[in-house]
Amino acid sequence: MQTTHDDIIYWLAAVRLPDIGPVRINRWVNYFSSIKKLFAAPAEELQSAGLTPKEIYAVQNPNWRAAEKDLAWSQQSDCHLVTQSDQAYPAFLRELNDAPALLYVQGDVTQLSQPQLAIVGTRNPTPSGKDTAVHFAYSLARAGLVITSGLAIGIDTASHEGALAASAKTIAVIGSGLEQIYPYSNRALAKKIISQGAMVSEFPPDTRPKPQYFPRRNRLISGLSLGVLVVEAAIRSGSLITARFASEQGREVFAIPGSIHNPLARGCHQLLRLGAKLVESTEDILEELGSLYKALSEPPVKPAPAADLSSQMQEMLLHIDYSVTAMDTIIVRSGLTASAVSSMLLSLELRGLVQIVPGGYARSSLSV
């Protein structure tokens, strides 16, 4: 179901509600069954839905002027607004409990749904670390992966530049609005990324960067990707936060080891002790991603009847209802890891046997 023009202004108002994040917005929209009904509900119904007096006041007094300004931004060339009801909303991101209600995108919005690998690391890399990030980004981009990072100076910048050097796609997820590119020194790089990939934010375009926004950005970097590769990171590093998000989200975590005398290798070594995959070449990553990368890279196949599926895939179908089934419910029913369930769901989706719907997945008529 695509977001209608009438609905989008309500989504824009929702993400600007003060001190209210995506978890509550998603819960309220599910309760009222639509974003429009949320804003139309009287105070008594809002209270019944569990809203506090402060939250009720916010919903009944949204900043319509700012929402209209954001709508005008989206009408510029290459600017897009993507809600969870839109086909362009990336499936991997929709799985998150705190998935953004709305994404602001500048550039090629279709890249958000392509197979991605995140590359992150320190803002102050060694020359060797920077060269490593460029090399891995270049090679993995040439192999067909979209390189995703956070536009920060250091390893992030090197990763974007490596993908661009390969004439491939790259995505930058930022912790500010798309009219407030941070850091300022990377504004020229941001323009290149827009022309050869996409810039993404969950914050309204005029939002200035704040320290608390960057962990939120990090969960999106990992959430969009098949896995996260960490290149040089100190023990206390935002890159390790991204890796932790990746692990919690069922994504692969990769780390490049370094010298025991290099303090910027200690974060990677800690990740390796915690179970991250040791990486010495791009082949290590591509081999580990395996069938999941292959399934995402191949063009959609002609829908096959459920009878032609493996027994494991047929069993997976039994865990999915014809009505909405949440991702967490499917994981509990199947007893499999989030990563394994994601891989099987993507395969079933490519076959036309399940479809992504607001709140989770549903079986299609082809799976009868």
Q: Which domains does the chain have, with CATH numbers?
A: 5-75 (no CATH), 109-293 (3.40.50.450), 306-367 (1.10.10.10)
Give the rounded distance of the alpha carbon of 184 from its chain centre. 24
The pLDDT of residue 129: 94
The C-alpha atoms of residue 114 and residue 110 are separated, in whole angstroms, by: 7
Rg from Cα positions in the chain? 21
The C-alpha atoms of residue 29 and residue 33 are separated, in whole angstroms, by: 6
Q: Which residue has the tokens 């926004």?
A: 213
Instruction: Write down the H helix ranges in the chain.
Output: 5-15, 22-32, 35-40, 43-48, 53-60, 64-74, 91-94, 127-142, 155-165, 187-195, 213-223, 238-248, 266-273, 282-297, 311-318, 327-334, 338-350
The pLDDT of residue 70: 97
Q: SS3 for 162?
A: helix
The C-alpha atoms of residue 198 and residue 203 are separated, in whole angstroms, by: 15
Q: Are 98 and 23 in contact (CB under 8 A)?
A: yes
Reported as a single tens digit per residue, the pLDDT across 123-181 is 999 999 999 999 999 999 999 999 999 999 999 999 999 999 999 999 999 999 999 99
> Three-class SS string for 52-101?
CHHHHHHHHCCCHHHHHHHHHHHCCCCEEEEECCCCCCCHHHHCCCCCCC
Closest of 346, 351, 343 to residue 301, by C-alpha: 351
**Positions of the chain with pLDDT lower than 50, given as ranges:** 1, 299-307, 368
The pLDDT of residue 5: 62
The pLDDT of residue 136: 96
The C-alpha atoms of residue 143 and residue 297 are separated, in whole angstroms, by: 10
The phi, psi pair for 175, rounded to 5°, reads -100, 35
Q: Which residue has the tokens 């600007």?
A: 16
* C-alpha triplet 38, 39, 42: angle, nearest 5°: 85
β pairing state of 252-255 and 227-231: parallel
CA distances from 334 to 113, 151, 278, 281, 316 (A): 25, 38, 29, 34, 7
The C-alpha atoms of residue 96 and residue 108 are separated, in whole angstroms, by: 23
Reported as a single tens digit per residue, the pLDDT across 51-76 is 999 999 999 999 999 999 999 999 99
The C-alpha atoms of residue 353 and residue 53 are separated, in whole angstroms, by: 44
For the chain, the first-to-last Cα distance in angstroms comes to 22
204: left (phi over 0), alpha (psi -120 to 50) or beta: beta
What strand order describes the sheet that includes 277-278? 79-83, 102-107, 197-201, 170-173, 146-149, 116-121, 227-231, 252-255, 277-278
The C-alpha atoms of residue 121 and residue 128 are separated, in whole angstroms, by: 13
The pLDDT of residue 303: 40
